Structure 1
Amino acid sequence: MLARITPINAATAESEGHPQTMDGFLAQVERRAYRTALMTTRRAADALDIVQDAMLQLVQHYRARPQEEWPLLFQRILNNRLMDWHRQQTRQRKWFWQSARADDDESDDPMLAVADEKEINPADLLARARDVERVIRVLEALPLRQRQAFTLRAWEGFDVAATAQAMECSEGSVKTHYFRALHSLRAALSDDEPSQRNNPGGENP
């Protein structure tokens, strides 16, 4: 169930006061990182390559950095690799370029940027889903930047500022992408509610 999805900062808080090794950190994040990469690539081999490359870069360049910096550094590397993969695929399929730009608009929406994030609580929203796979299918259909903003904010537990650093964009863009993702997810999950109310026990009509 969705309760298994634990933000990085929540997980590390449980071991506060105990130094974390790089191997331990990578073991902690690799499954979510793979799932995030797979949602973008939809190819197991590509997703595995991207995650392994991101981990290798973290180890090679940032092993000596303080452990509290590892989550943000890793997510920045991972998101950059995913953006590189996305751009490469777009170049290979030029006919897709216009629709990709329209769906993945990077411009800030001033109305969304000032909206109160509490009006849509992702924990409450996700609790309405019947299983993780349902959420994954909805997220797979989102534009890349919306998916990145959602996974960093709702799954990894990053605040707006840290998410903006990881995505290398403005905080306004993060809020825009995040709210669009939340609204899309809420609409998709709301479609399930009538059938659940009419058939609460899951029995065949």
Structure 2
Amino acid sequence: MATEQELSDFLKNVEKRAFKRSLYHVRNEEAALDIVQDSMMKLAEHYGDKPAGELPMLFQRILSNCTLDWFRRQKTRNALFSSLSDFDGAGDEGDFDLLETFRGADPSEQTESAEDTTRRAQVLRAIESEIQDLPARQREAFLMRYWEEMDVAETAAAMGCSEGSVKTHCSRAVQALARALKAKGLQP
């Protein structure tokens, strides 16, 4: 069983190498730092009671998993934001699920021009700005569902409301974002 001091020493020794490894993979300093911090917290929280000799392998596995999770979140966000401007709204249907709109499309199979990449960046900045203007419950539901990738049941439990309310909040948030993008001329 590793002592607190052994765990602390291990984390200090591995910190810089882990950061460089993460930075090499994600090419974003803030994201790399977040990945390393998350990995360190998970190691300390879930495996701090393991023998000191097991910490290096455990940490490498956790770091790899956190990096893969980051790439999965990026893929989801890119798919969401690349197509959100094409969304005209789902009406007032309470069972609308925006993620269903993107299933089956593999963004890695598509090639983008510089114009498409620039347009996507503009849309992303506009969405980030508009999210701040959403009503609190809509913003909370939207971020949990589409940024944190929680399912409807998890989001409902976290928000303390029904699954139908989560769907309604998300639908209204998506509609508001689509209107805002259209008003800014960011629809094709």
With normalisation by structure 2, the TM-score equals 0.39
With normalisation by structure 1, the TM-score equals 0.37
Higher Rg: 2
